[in-house]
Structure 1
Amino acid sequence: MSAVLELVRPDLRGFAGYQSARSDAARGEVWLNANEAPWSSVADRGGRNRRYPEPQPAALRDALAALYGCAPDALLLGRGSDEAIDLLVRALCAPGRGAVVVAPPVFGMYAVSARLHGARVLEVPLRDGVAGFAPDLDAMADAALSGAAKLVFLCSPGNPTGERMSTEAVERLAQRLAGRAVVVVDEAYAEFADAPSALVALPRHRNLVVLRTLSKAHALAGARIGCAIADPGLVEVLRACQAPYPLPASCVALGLAALAPASVDATGRRVARVREQRDRLAAALAHLPGVRRVYPSQANFLLVRFDDAGAALRRLRADGIVVRDQRAAPQLGDALRISIGTPAQNRRVLAALGGAAA
């Protein structure tokens, strides 16, 4: 057994999970093994949804593996990154006894999944410095080792803070925690960054997991397509813990269309446009009255501190603009997170905030 599989809950080692009708590799012309309707729904003109979908659609898995440069058996498809987060907590943390390490302010689902499972959440706050927010990876490793945590969650680029971690730093953390904990790097916003993905480190560190999604750069948030890329043995464990049919057939079709060469090229051009607009908006915001600080961002949003964040929020809402209020998050009592929109939408943001002085 590999070192990373020794981190899996003992009661789940060798666990087969639910074997659905589609798990059977049988071939035939008349399929009567899953209690499906014999006719398509009157609402389903294409007839795509009468049958249960593949548990792990091979065509979509292969397309994503090609996009991310990994082997198909190292990739688990799921409902966005959220499902992968939940599966990792369930597979590695003993109910009521396990622990995870997080670095707030950060995406809330790591802590939510842990608490729903009864796992302890060990917090090592991000450090706010001249260059922006950054995780204290040494302190996170110390917390994992002293708290017997099985999972360390990193968000890179960070949400809502926008910082990006170097691959070298991630590798040092994974090496220090080898055999003790799994390091999970959530790269939901990786396409907007100008640094390499942690995916390049996967062959060297079996206790590393990278999460990716089609929700952001590929504009398929409503399709809920994400994946975990990890050691194939760990992928098998996560699959055994997963519901039998995670992705609807209609969503799989959307995902395949989005990963066609012409679509990927178009997405690349749109990502470049978002990056350009992000830099323009950041520069303009920094000169507005009432804006205290605009953080550097490697994602498709900006974190902005205001002299009076409440007043800024009211001005934006009065103009019909909805942004994310971050004031309840640790260290962000004066901050809003603003997603990058179209050029016209970004101009509306600037116009709404133009008189938002304290």
Structure 2
Amino acid sequence: MSGVLNLVREDLRGFAGYASARSTRLEGEIWLNANESAWPNPGDAAALCRRYPEPQPQALRERLAALYGCTSEQLLLGRGSDEAIDLLVRALCAPGRDGVLYTPPVFGMYAVSARLQNAPALEVPLRDGPAGLEPDIEAIIATAKQGNARLVFLCSPSNPGGSSIGLAQVERVAAALRGQALVVVDEAYAEFADEPSAASLLPRHENIAVLRTLSKAHALAAARIGCVIADAGLIAVLRNCQAPYPIPAPCSALALAGLDDAALARTRERIALVRAERERLRAALAQLPGVRRVYPSDANFLLVRLVDAEAAFQRLLVAGVVVRDQRGAPQLHDALRITLGTPEQNARVLGVLATLEPAA
């Protein structure tokens, strides 16, 4: 075994996982191999749920592979990006030995998965500069080497910062950590950004993986479908570590319908609207007396520092608007994260925040 598979935990390299009743492709008219009911549930009008689903629905894998520019063998479906994060940590990090590096303030599931695996957490804070919250690439490389990192999570665009990481920077980290760590680029918000996907780097860097989700731009959050794109050998290992039937048949059918040509065309229109609203709202918020700073964003949200974040949060709640309180996150003691809504919803946010008092 060589290459990226050397990063898999030694005790899992030959692990075959659980062989479910749907693990092999069998043909027949009467299915009596999985202890399923012979009759559909009375509430299941389409009879979608009586049989166990495909472990990895091939039609959906192929559709997403075409969308993301990879092969279906390089893509593993899961329950949102969260499951992919957990699988990567469990499969690659030996408890108490292999570190997980992330860049706070950032999506909290990297730290949660590391904690559950008892993997050493390596934090390299984002730098707050004129261009926004940006990663310190040299510090990431140095900390990963010194701390025995097996996984390096780069969130691009970052949540909650909103900044993208250039492919040249991702490539620098991957090249520096070849043979030691897998560099995982979380692209949950990539559809709203201009930066190309890091999946394009896979042919040159087998120690890169990419996370994608249908929860954001594709508006399928409740379907809980995401994927990890990586070396085909690593994908096979992750599949062996995954629960038998991760994608419910109704969710798979919904995702395929939401990814047909007409749906994708509508999604592109909505992405364009979000991007336009993002710039409009950013400019308008920056003019308000109670706003200290609005960060540039490549995602579908804005990170906003306020003179009185508590007052802003409470006034928005009274107006029926729920935003994300970021004050407990590192470096963000005065910040709220505001998702871009419809133009009418964004206008309500502006109206409420316009009533805030300026700094004394």
Shorter-chain-normalised TM-score: which range? over 0.9
Is the partner of 1:154 in helix, strand or coil?
Answer: strand
1:136 and 2:121 aligned: no
In structure 2, the partner of 1:51 is 51
The alignment's C-alpha RMSD in Å is: 0.7
In structure 1, the partner of 2:164 is 164
In structure 1, the partner of 2:260 is 260
In structure 2, how many angstroms separate the alpha carbons of the residues matched to 1:37 and 1:342?
44
1:184 and 2:171 aligned: no
Query: What is the identity, as a one-letter code, of the residue corresponding to 1:289?
Result: P
What's the CA shift for 1:204? Answer: 0.8
Query: What does 1:1-358 correspond to in 2, within 5 Å?
Result: 1-357=1-357, 358=359
The answer to whether the 8 A contact 1:98-1:118 is kept is no
What's the CA shift for 1:2? Answer: 2.6
Q: TM-score, normalised by structure 1?
A: 0.99
Is the partner of 2:149 in helix, strand or coil?
Answer: coil
Task: Write the deviation string for residues 17-43 of structure 1: whole angstroms up to 9, x where unpaired.
Answer: 001000022211111000000000001
Query: What is the identity, as a one-letter code, of the residue corresponding to 2:88?
Result: L
Is the partner of 1:271 in helix, strand or coil?
Answer: helix
Name whichever of 296-305 and 129-138 sits farther off.
129-138
What's the CA shift for 1:200? Answer: 1.1
Aligned residue pairs, count: 358
Task: Write the deviation string for residues 195-230 of structure 1: whole angstroms up to 9, x where unpaired.
Answer: 211111111110000000000000000000100000
Task: Write the deviation string for residues 216-250 of structure 1: whole angstroms up to 9, x where unpaired.
Answer: 00000000010000000000110000000001000
What's the CA shift for 1:97? Answer: 2.4
What's the CA shift for 1:259? Answer: 1.0
Q: Structure 1: give runs of 5+ residues left out of the alignment.
A: none
Is the partner of 1:100 in helix, strand or coil?
Answer: strand
What's the CA shift for 1:98? Answer: 2.2
Query: What is the identity, as a one-letter code, of the residue corresponding to 2:249?
Result: A
What's the CA shift for 1:290? Answer: 0.8
In structure 2, how many angstroms separate the alpha carbons of the residues matched to 1:165 and 1:95?
29
Is the partner of 1:23 in helix, strand or coil?
Answer: coil
Is the partner of 1:333 in helix, strand or coil?
Answer: coil
Task: Write the deviation string for residues 286-307 of structure 1: whole angstroms up to 9, x where unpaired.
Answer: 0111100000000000000001
The answer to whether the 8 A contact 1:225-1:247 is kept is yes
What's the CA shift for 1:132? Answer: 0.6
In structure 2, how many angstroms separate the alpha carbons of the residues matched to 1:97 and 1:80?
27
Task: Write the deviation string for residues 95-152 of structure 1: whole angstroms up to 9, x where unpaired.
Answer: 2322100100000000000101111111000000011110011111111111111000
Q: What is the identity percentage for the equivalent residue pairs of Structure 1 and Structure 2?
A: 67
In structure 2, how many angstroms separate the alpha carbons of the residues matched to 1:96 and 1:30?
49
The answer to whether the 8 A contact 1:40-1:50 is kept is yes
In structure 2, how many angstroms separate the alpha carbons of the residues matched to 1:354 and 1:67?
41
Is the partner of 1:22 in helix, strand or coil?
Answer: coil
Query: What is the identity, as a one-letter code, of the residue corresponding to 2:21?
Result: A
Is the partner of 1:338 in helix, strand or coil?
Answer: strand
The answer to whether the 8 A contact 1:101-1:144 is kept is yes
Query: What is the identity, as a one-letter code, of the residue corresponding to 2:295?
Result: Y
In structure 2, how many angstroms separate the alpha carbons of the residues matched to 1:123 and 1:267?
35
Query: What is the identity, as a one-letter code, of the residue corresponding to 1:62?
Result: E
Is the partner of 1:321 in helix, strand or coil?
Answer: coil
Name whichever of 220-229 and 135-144 sits farther off.
135-144
Query: What is the identity, as a one-letter code, of the residue corresponding to 1:192?
Result: F
In structure 2, how many angstroms separate the alpha carbons of the residues matched to 1:182 and 1:277?
36
In structure 1, how many angstroms separate the alpha carbons of the residues matched to 2:333 and 2:2?
44
Query: What is the identity, as a one-letter code, of the residue corresponding to 1:90?
Result: R
Q: Structure 2: give runs of 5+ residues left out of the alignment.
A: none
Q: Which runs of 4+ in 1 moved over 3 A?
A: none
Name whichever of 259-268 and 156-165 sits farther off.
259-268
In structure 2, how many angstroms separate the alpha carbons of the residues matched to 1:297 and 1:278?
8
In structure 2, how many angstroms separate the alpha carbons of the residues matched to 1:2 and 1:199?
21
Is the partner of 1:46 in helix, strand or coil?
Answer: coil
In structure 2, how many angstroms separate the alpha carbons of the residues matched to 1:270 and 1:190?
14
Q: TM-score, normalised by structure 2?
A: 0.98
